[in-house]
């Protein structure tokens, strides 16, 4: 059973986001970004209580900006999804979760060493240029179950 219900258009949307955010980090990096996307759809806490679908996650607005920089800036996000990224997105939606993004709800590229916390959330680990952050203990149990 998939971690989140999805359609073919959800796979294509997620694949485009994974590529736009992490193409330079290879398949592994794109899978980690996919973990964060799926985790946000599963999480019923913090900023994610009203997002349950892939489009809701991708197009979520926080603080007058889209949550994902690629939606704002365009770059690769507006290119068609390729089959390789679609396969990776399907893996995330069905089963794939690994550290450091296994339970992560956030990531960013600080262009410097990863800080130990980000907006009060603990550092989970780093892959290439991206730092991943999990919810603080007791603030989002649903992400650990989904």
Predicted TM-score (pTM) above 0.75:
yes
- Report DSSP letters for 18-62, one per residue: HHHHHGGGHHHHHHHHHHHHHHHHH--SGGGTT--SHHHHHT-EE
The residue written with tokens 């985790």 in the block is: 39
Instruction: Please identify which residue in the block is written with the tokens 């603030």.
Output: 139
For 95-133, write each residue's pLDDT tens digit: 999 999 999 999 999 999 999 999 999 999 999 999 999
Cβ 122 vs Cβ 136: under 8 Å: yes
């Amino acid at each position: 059973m998939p971690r989140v219900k999805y359609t073919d258009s959800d796979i294509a949307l997620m694949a485009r986001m994974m590529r736009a955010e992490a193409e330079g980090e290879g398949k592994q990096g794109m899978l980690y970004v996919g973990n964060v996307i799926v985790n946000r759809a599963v999480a019923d806490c913090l900023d994610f209580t009203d997002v349950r679908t892939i489009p809701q996650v991708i197009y979520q607005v926080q603080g007058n900006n889209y949550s994902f920089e690629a939606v704002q800036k365009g770059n690769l996000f507006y290119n068609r999804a390729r089959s390789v990224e679609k396969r990776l997105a399907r893996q995330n939606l069905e089963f794939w979760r690994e550290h450091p993004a296994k339970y992560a709800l956030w990531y960013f590229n600080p262009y410097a060493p990863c800080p130990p916390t980000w907006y009060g959330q603990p550092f989970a680990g780093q892959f290439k240029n991206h730092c991943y952050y999990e919810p603080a203990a007791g603030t989002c149990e649903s992400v650990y179950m989904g």
